[in-house]
Each structure stands twice: as structure tokens, then as C-alpha cells.
Amino acid sequence: MRTVCVVGVGMSKWGEVWKRSFRQLFVDAARNAIEESGVDHIDSLYVGCMSGGLFAGQEHVGAIMADYLGMPGIPAMRVESACASGGMSFRAALLDVGSGMSDIVMAAGVEKMTDIDGDEATAALATAADQEYEVFHGATFPGLYAMMAQAHMAKHGTTRQMLTAVSVKNHHNGSMNPVAQYPFKLKPETVENSVMVADPLRILDCSPITDGAAAVIVCTEEIAKKLGRPYLKVLGSGLATDTIQLAQRDDMTTIKSATLASERALKMAGKKISDIQCVEVHDCFTIAELMVLESVGLFEPGKAGMATVAGETALDGRIPVNPSGGLKSKGHPVGATGIAQIIEIYKQLTGQAENGRQITSSPTIGMTQNMGGSGASSVVHILEVAS
């Protein structure tokens, strides 16, 4: 397999973006990535999108985005794996370039989620859960993650303070992110007094619904060198699945797909988890961040919460987690989230993070973890800055 690199990145503004359409959001991000990379063409396009039909009334996403970008005729396809669609799009681009089928590929993600009302958005997101055995009986994702949180609290002694610490940390980081949906800091008491959604999860434990797009240029190392821009090497990629139903899992306090995906990515990269210096993980709810950190092996089971309270996952901590602000502050346009994680690692490893959120320890190796639903699918990537 050829060495695959990330050489340019781009994002649209994230949030409730009323004046940009589904396709315009994509083009905003795609043009930014093309301009930053310096490429004069792309050979193919992968677009992560969970549910363009339900959110925006638009399917056939690959073709419409290639057309609106001004590149009709190129190979283009939509990639879907619920909230992991963006990460899967990046993996597809990696395999395309690595195999030799293409030399320059765009991996992108987009979702326009706020053009429908809250009930419709909840129903659209619920399609990533088990329709017959969970959704039919009234389960929503806040409810499913609340059950996971209650199980984690019972087994490991996880506390309200630990969940709060995740939200406060990620909003601190997101307050410095120019594209974040909610770029403001939070006080612990604000989190703990916010509206209860599903016990123990309050509204400020939950990621928002978001409009947004993100794109990266993936290419061979030979091309990356010629372009003369900073670039990352993709060292490893891991993908895994698990049962969709929580009821079928042996242990609701861990995310098996994240464990398997990280193990596979690390093996491909020839690295150990201790080699990872910063990480973007899928914090769709505060409990998810803690469970993922334990599932991928960055912390022992039950230890991520106290480590977060102690500042170990802060920007100046031992292992900075979600320096972008994560899904919680930056936002969560489900098809684009996995690509935005790659973008943040690109910025951190190349020293380009804006507004004071650059990790001062100058990391050289980073990890992303993106998952679908309550962890039925998970994709992990390991990247290293080119020396």
C-alpha cells in the first residue's frame, strides 16, 4: 500500500446556517481545501452524509456535490455509517489513494440538519439505532447514552462532576475555534443546572444539531512533497462494528467497536497507544468521551473521568482530548464530524491551530475516533506530521 498523506483542509461555518444550502455548505468547505492544498484537480470524491434525504430532502449526494463543485464526470460517491460517515469517507479516500486507483482524492462530509424541526431531527437521528428493538419502544440517543452513563456510574463510580468536567473542557477549547457552533466557555454550575434530558444527562451534556461541512485533500507523498505545503502521513486506519442494540452487548460501559478499531489502526501504524500525543474523539454526549478514552486504551476502565477532572485531557495536559471543542462545542453535523476531526489533528500537528488553542507540547502523532449511533460502528485513524 502506498504512503497516503493529508495536504490541505477546509471547513464551512458550523451552526444554524440559514443562508447556505446543503450543497453550498459542501462547496464552501471543498473550495477551501482545494485552495489550501494547491492541487489543480482531484481524481475522485467521497462525501460522508448520514441522511441527506431526511434532513435536506436530497439523496444522490455524490453526484450533486461533484456537479455543484464544477467537476461533473469525476468518480464521486456518498459514504454512510450514521455519525461515523465522515470518518468512513476518509477511510475510503485512504484506500483509493493507497491502492493506486487515484492519486489525489477529496474526502468530505456534509449535513444540513436545522431546516427541519426538532422532532423530525430526532427521528432522523434515531434511524442509526435499532428500529425494531429500540426506537419502536421509544428509545432516543439521549436515552440510550443515559443508560450507558447510569451503567458506567454503577460499575465505576463515575460522578456528575466528571461529566461536567468534559463539557467545561470542551467548551473552553471550542471558545477558541473560529468555526464552532457554540464558541463560549461554561461554568460547572451552568452545566449542572441546565435542563435534564435523560437522567443523568442534561442539555449541556449533549452535542447539538448542526449545519456544516468539512473537506480534506488526500494524496500520495510524492505529490504532497511537490505541493510544498505542510502535510501529514496516514499511518493507520481501523474499522469495526458491534451490535446496534445495547441489550445485546456484554458490557454497556465500554464501546467494543472503538477498542477493535483502535487496535487495528495501531497495528497498521506500528504504534502503541502510549505513542499518541493528542486525540479527537466522538463526544456526542459527555459520557461518550469518557467511555471512548477507556475503550481505546488511553485510560484504564473507570479512570477517564477523574483524569479529566484533574486536567490530564486539557490542552496543557498529559493527553489533550478534543482540542477543537469536540462535538459538544464545535457542533455535530453528523456526516461531517469525522472529517473535522482529521482537520483538527492536521492543524495541531502542523502548528496551525487558531486563537490560542495550539497544544504547546508540539505533538507529532495524533488519533481520531469517529463512531456511529451508540457505537455500532467505529473508525480510528492515526496520523503523523511529515518531518
State residue 318's pLDDT score: 97
Residue 263, pLDDT above cutoff 90: yes
Give how far Cα 242 sits from Cα of 229, 246, 252, 273, 379, Å.
38, 10, 12, 21, 12
Mean pLDDT of the chain: 97
User: CA geometry: angle at 110 spanning 144 and 130, to 5°?
Assistant: 25
Say yes or no to pLDDT of 387 above 90.
no
> One-letter amino acid identity for 250?
D
Q: Which domain holds residue 96?
A: 4-117+209-227
- Of 227, 261, 281, which residue is a domain's last? 227
Convert the pLDDT of each residue in 317-372 to its tens digit. Answer: 999 999 999 999 999 999 999 999 999 999 999 999 999 999 999 999 999 999 99
| Sequence-distant contacts of 186-192: CB under 8 A, at least 24 apart | 188/161, 188/164, 191/163, 191/164, 191/167, 192/160, 192/164
Q: Which of residues 227, 256, 279 is at a domain's end?
A: 227
Residue 153 counted as domain residue:
yes
Is 387 part of any domain? no
Task: Give catalytic residues, as residue numbers.
Answer: 83, 332
Segment 170-191, tens digit of pLDDT: 999 999 999 999 999 999 999 9
Is residue 152 domain-shared with residue 198, that is, in the same domain?
A: yes
Where do the DSSP E strands lie in the chain?
A: 4-11, 44-48, 76-79, 104-112, 196-198, 201-202, 211-220, 232-241, 278-280, 365-372, 377-385
> Same domain for 198 and 213?
no
**Count of structural domains, the chain:** 2
Give the sheet arrangement for strand 44-48, strand by strand. 76-79, 44-48, 104-112, 211-220, 4-11, 232-241, 377-385, 365-372, 278-280
- pLDDT the model gives residue 337: 98
CA distance 197 to 287: 14
Mean pLDDT value of segment 300-310? 98
Task: Let me know whether 9 and 142 are in one domain.
Answer: no
pTM of the model: 0.98
CATH (domain of 99): 3.40.47.10
